[in-house]
Amino acid sequence: MKKIFAIILGLSLATSALAQDTTGEAPVLRSKKGEAYLPVAGEWGLGVSANPFLDYVGNFLHGDFYNFSPDFTFAENAANNIAVFGKLMIDENTAYRVRFNINLQSNINKAVVNQDLADYNPEYPAFTEDWQKVNTTAIVIAPGIEKRRGTTRLQGVYGAELIIGFSNRKLKYDYGNALSSDFPAPTTTDFSGYGYGNNILFWGGGGSSTVRVAEDKYGASFLVGARGFIGVEYFFAPKISIGGEFGYMVGYQTQGKSKITAETWDGANTSIRKIKLDDYNNGGVTSVGLGLDNLSGAINLLFYF
């Protein structure tokens, strides 16, 4: 009887071990403290890029607004040029994710100039101030889906995402020396040296201006694209990983026409006349392109919880 019981017990243990081996489930990777390395369904992930936060998607959000005509170099490293992204794990091998970069800036440039006076005395000069106010809005958002492969701490990732972007910019000028019949070409600051001006609009020369910019509204830019990506993610600690990716992106970008308002002195009507220059700046431009991401992109750091 004891032998029969021993045989039955042995067969039961063997069957149980065989069942565990053939389930196909990967073993849970744990640290020495028993903490799981890999994320599971229902967990959230938060990621940051090692790039500076204001690295934009190529020229679409390029910091050099003086050369703002759109081109398709934004396809370079579209993955890592977006600074923050989040994930939601649907299961151990699938995640929804969204990446974004939002930039809202307001800059003020001030310049001191000589004040135009009818009784100007060089021994006792008077001064006034010219102001340039620059407001910029730039938004890029990229929702997508991510799949992963691998049973070790080194995971392969791949998937696709949609990229949508918007950019807008407005410059406004206030001058200390007003246009008048006595000073139809007042002393005026040319703010193009600040990287934001429109030098050609300052006619008159010699520090005086018969026509000068009052307001400059850059045409809004819109971007839409689709991107496939592939990369790796390594969990060097439980729920903490570093990784990088590259991919191909196809997209469409358009920039509306800029609207510039200039001002000059109208001697015939003895008043300031506004001049609309809707087509002066670069604008009304579209571009379509396909490009491979820059492979020298920054490393991403991710946290899961």
Bridge-based pairing of strands 259-266 and 271-277 is: antiparallel
User: Among the listed ranges 59-73, 80-94, 156-170, 217-231, which one has the minimum average pLDDT value?
Assistant: 59-73
Distance CA 191, CA 80 (A): 33
14, part of any domain: no
Give the DSSP per-residue string, the chain.
-HHHHHHHHHHHHHHHHHHHHTS-PPPPPB-TTS-B-S--TT-EEEEEESS-TT--SGGGG-S-GGG----SGGGTTTTTTS-EEEEEEEETTEEEEEEEEEEEEEEEEEEEEEPP-TT--TTS--EEEEEEEEEEEEEEEEEEEEEEE-SSSEEEEEEEEEEEEEEEEEEEEE-SS---SS-SS-B---GGGGTS--GGG-BS-TTB-SEEEEEEEEEEEEEEEEEEEEEEEEEEETTEEEEEEEEEEEEEEEEPPPEEEEEEEETTTTEEEEEEETTSSS-SEEEEEEEEPPTTPPPEEEEE-
Residue of higher predicted confidence among 290 and 109: 109
pLDDT, tens only, 68-113: 333 333 333 333 355 688 999 999 999 999 988 787 888 899 999 9
User: Residue 15: inside a domain, yes or no?
Assistant: no
Report the distance separating Cα 207 and Cα 191, nearest Å: 11
Greater model confidence, 7 or 249: 249
Tokens representing 194 are: 């600040």
Query: Interior CA angle at 172 toward 168 and 175, to 5°?
Result: 165
Is residue 13 assigned to a domain? Answer: no
Domain total of the chain = 1
| 110 within domain boundaries | yes
| Residue 51 pLDDT level (bands cut at 50, 70, 90) | very low
* Nearest CA among 70, 40, 38 for reference residue 57: 70
**24 in a domain, yes or no?**
no
Domain assignment of residue 26, yes or no: no
- Mean pLDDT over each residue of the chain, to the nearest integer: 75
**CA 2, CA 229: separation in Å to the nearest integer?**
62
pLDDT value at 282 more than 70: no
Highest mean predicted confidence (pLDDT) among 20-34, 187-201, 262-276? 262-276
Whether the predicted pLDDT of 151 surpasses 50:
yes
Residue 6 domain-assigned (yes or no): no
* pLDDT for residue 5 is more than 70: no
Least confident of 10-24, 182-196, 251-265, 272-286: 10-24
Tokens 């990967």 identify what position?
26
**Residue 274: strand pairing partners:** 263
The whole model's pTM is what?
A: 0.69
The confidence score (pLDDT) of residue 64 equals 40
Place of tokens 């799949």: 147
Contact call for residues 77 and 88 (beta carbons, < 8 A): no
- Residue 78 in contact with residue 293, Cβ under 8 Å? yes
* Out of 40-54, 84-98, 165-179, least confident range: 40-54
Domain that holds residue 223: 34-304
Residue 111 lies in a domain: yes
Count of Cβ atoms closer than 10 Å to residue 192 Cβ: 15
